[in-house]
Amino acid sequence: MSASTIYDSYKEIRMRQKSIPPLGFSAHSFIETGAGIPLEEGSRQDQQISEVAPLWAVHAGEKLFRASRPIRVRVFRDGALFFAENETLLVCGTGESAWDAVEELESHIIHFYKYYKDLPSDRVIGDAKRLKGLYQNLLIEEQ
């Protein structure tokens, strides 16, 4: 690997770090500012387009849950549908727009957060034990 390639890689990392929002970032604004996702009608329908962004808050109706650490969300378009997923939490949302996909993803995150929060530790095994640990410390409910 050449020195110029390494330099360009670090330059790209620094540029991407500038786009990470401060902790007060709202989940509902990241889709509007997400670069690289062509949301206009003229975009190619048959091409899969993908973008990864942090989710700093999750909304459930009027309730707001802050993430204790950013939730990495991959949003992509495949044909006419948008998908938003987090592979670590094993959740996915779909919709006719990127916005709809993220909103559905948020509802799944809240559902599993409440489910694993109320589930006794002696009732989980395998991957469910890992997920319970992740969800337990993931969200902070705003008052």
* pLDDT tens-digit map of 50-85: 778 888 888 877 888 899 889 999 998 888 889 999
Q: How far apart are CA 115 and CA 109, in angstroms?
A: 10
Is 5 a member of any domain? no
Is 108 a member of any domain? yes
Is 9 a member of any domain? no
Is 19 a member of any domain? no
β-pairing, 81-86 with 49-60? unpaired
Is 16 a member of any domain? no
Confidence band, pLDDT 50/70/90 cuts, at residue 5: low
Distances 138 to 10, 26, 33, 106, 120 between C-alpha atoms, Å: 30, 16, 24, 13, 17
Q: What is the pTM of this model?
A: 0.64
Question: What domain count does the chain have?
Answer: 1
The single-letter DSSP state of residue 56 is E
Beta strands in 1-119 (DSSP E): 49-60, 63-78, 81-86, 91-95
Give the domain range for residue 48. Answer: 25-141
